[in-house]
Structure 1
Amino acid sequence: MRVIYNEELKAVADDLERMANGVCTAIHGAGRALMDGDMDAAKSVIDGDSAIDALEKQILDQCVKLLAQQSPVATDLRVVVATLRLASTIERMGDLAQHIAQTAHRAYPASALPDDTKTRHIFESMREFLDVTADRLPEMLSDRDTTLAQQVIADDNKLDELHQESFALVLDDAWKGTKQQLIDVVLTARFMERLGDHAVSTARQVVYIVSGFDPSKEPRDFDED
Structure 2
Amino acid sequence: MADFDGREELIQVARWDYDGEGIDEAMLPGDPWTAITGWIEAARERSLVADDVPEPDALSVATADAQGQPHVRTVLMRYLTPHGPGFYTNLNSLKGRDLAANPRIAAALTWPPMFRAIRFTGSAEELARDVVAEYFRSRPYGSRIGAWASAQSEPLERRAVLDERTEHYAHRWPDRGEPGDVPLPDFWGGYLIRCDEVELWAGRHSRQHDRLVYVRTAPGTLADHDAWRIERRQP
TM-score range, shorter chain: under 0.3
Structure in which a larger fraction of residues adopt strand: 2
Structure in which a larger fraction of residues adopt helix: 1
TM-score normalized with structure 2 length: 0.21
TM-score normalized with structure 1 length: 0.22
